[in-house]
Structure 1
């Protein structure tokens, strides 16, 4: 059997549409992919972004879980730097009460400080775009906190953090999450505290990461499953997976490493149609990296009218070159390569198109082709 496919949804707002449209499309998509055979449905966390509504994964997850019956539903990821471990466990514990055995708590480091003694991914010299056994590894994108992007991130942190509040380091927050779920949390003064709901919840706790740094190490050392981010930072995916596996220690949750790898994909009946549907993607990524946040997702017509500069193209090159676009057979082949090279135990696919019917159809075509692949990757 091929490895499972799952879904990551940002609940995008289409250009000309509303937040209500995005919400209704998310519920429609969740119901559809459940019938197509996808394993889980993750909801991202983004703030101050005009083009997506996934700002509260626990709230949106409750609505998605209530509209479905068998899908695992969760966060991909809730950002611990913006909340306390207790508040996160209580929220997802309540979801587990309502939908027992179906809830994933995916957690990410973004927004959390990096304390002295912790490390980012090891520095290495940027490599030009290349392939590893058929998998495209693009030249790394150099994030900077200058200009509009830096100002937006600073504003986000200011508005999501109470004045004077200090967030613990990421590893400490993950430990607190696990302690609350296990019922073993103790304050520095020795007081036992219990998350109700949350303690004893049947949650799958995940760590999501974009590099071979702290997130991969924390997930491995605590024996948690790990999701590596090929769809946002494709240049780092092999480093992230390797760092996780190197750090892995068996735990009460896992005897051996479990890796999910994400990918952007657009599937249609013909290559030409798939490329047309995917054509706004570069413009959408540009809006994110230029600092304004994701714009409402453009139509192919709007994308065709954009005049691209060399600087624009460089800004989005790594993301555009690693989006999987084509017929079902073409995209399945590329996903098989991604699975083979990374050794992923599961793939999570994110698909964005302007019209919802095309997005839903893309997931339908992919699921059918994946299930029927004669020589797909094995579990």
Structure 2
């Protein structure tokens, strides 16, 4: 198992969390701080996720925030995990990411999802239609053709400027089999959201690998898996910090809108038995504990998934504790080599 962990690359998924008592401006400062710190630690990429109408997530204008992070770092790849393509015109996304790639050449990733990243009412406000993402493959084809006109049989009078003929890696993101199969068929890299859909992880990765057709983008499958990791000096401290993540998902279940809450000593005073069981299933792949505990669980996770890359998600209330968690994970990977 150690061999699997020694070969894996580490990356970051940041939701730019707005914590209780703070503002979006504070969240952006912490996001840049985390990006700069993880770059020094040797993380491979730093992705930001598009969400809307969520009081605890500040990354709604994802392309803008990617530019901010890329400008404040030097080497780490910066991208979207992801842009929810049905929320946007493909031309707009091509222009946005063409601009980013022109400003920060060789450092921009474009991860794409088909969910709205929000509730249905907000999705309608974004899309001005009841589109539920069923046309995602067509939107993807259009977007890819703006970057590479050779992918389209039509001579396009509309061009993405900047964007056309730029080499921007496109990833498909998913929490089920749909995007896994599509990514495989198109020969694109695939990222699975195990951090909130653990039960579907292995079936989706298997489907991706079985569906894979080599392309000019990839000669072999390349899979990245998102995983919640909360590491601290002791198991007890880590589980205390993890109560913030648990409360975040509990608020989603209860349709409660609030910033990211501070940790609590006893979650049993907050959730019902039903809610506890539901959250334990949804957060089942989360890795929480001391350095020794996290190392053991990461080794097992890397062996089970055979992921090429792990994208670490750490929803921790205190920023310094969050930085330390990412540091511990980096130490584990370095020591396994």
Indicate whether the TM-score tops 0.5. yes
Which residue of 72, 76, 82 maps to 1:77?
82
Q: Tell me how far 1:90 sits from its aligned partner.
A: 0.8
TM normalised by structure 2 equals 0.93
What's the counterpart of residue 246 of structure 2?
282
After TM superposition, list the pairs within 5 Å mapping 1:7-156 onto structure 2.
Answer: 7-111=12-116, 153-156=119-122
**Paired residue secondary structure (2:139):** helix
What's the counterpart of residue 197 of structure 1?
162
- Whether the 8 Å CA contact 1:187–1:193 is kept in 2: the answer is no
Q: Tell me how far 1:269 sits from its aligned partner.
A: 1.3
Q: Is residue 2:270 matched to residue 1:307?
A: yes
- Whether the 8 Å CA contact 1:286–1:316 is kept in 2: the answer is yes
- Whether the 8 Å CA contact 2:82–2:111 is kept in 1: the answer is yes
Q: Tell me how far 1:187 sits from its aligned partner.
A: 8.6
What's the counterpart of residue 3 of structure 2?
none
Distance in 1 (alpha carbons) for counterparts of 2:131 and 2:210: 34
**Higher helix proportion:** 2
**Paired residue secondary structure (2:60):** coil
**Paired residue secondary structure (2:310):** strand
Total equivalences in the alignment = 332
What's the counterpart of residue 306 of structure 2?
343
Coordinate RMSD, CA, aligned:
2.1
What's the counterpart of residue 136 of structure 2?
170
Q: Is residue 2:325 matched to residue 1:366?
A: no
Distance in 2 (alpha carbons) for counterparts of 1:164 and 1:318: 30
Deviations 1:321-341 (CA, angstroms, capped at 9, x unpaired): 321011122212212211111
- Whether the 8 Å CA contact 2:212–2:221 is kept in 1: the answer is yes
Structure 1: 5+ residue runs without aligned partners?
113-151, 375-379
Q: Tell me how far 1:110 sits from its aligned partner.
A: 0.7
CA separation of 1:20/1:222 partners in 2, compared to 1, >3 Å: closer, same or farther? same
Distance in 2 (alpha carbons) for counterparts of 1:65 and 1:107: 19
- Whether the 8 Å CA contact 1:280–1:302 is kept in 2: the answer is no
**Paired residue secondary structure (1:284):** helix
Q: Tell me how far 1:358 sits from its aligned partner.
A: 0.3
What's the counterpart of residue 237 of structure 1?
201
Distance in 2 (alpha carbons) for counterparts of 1:234 and 1:227: 13
**Paired residue secondary structure (2:311):** strand
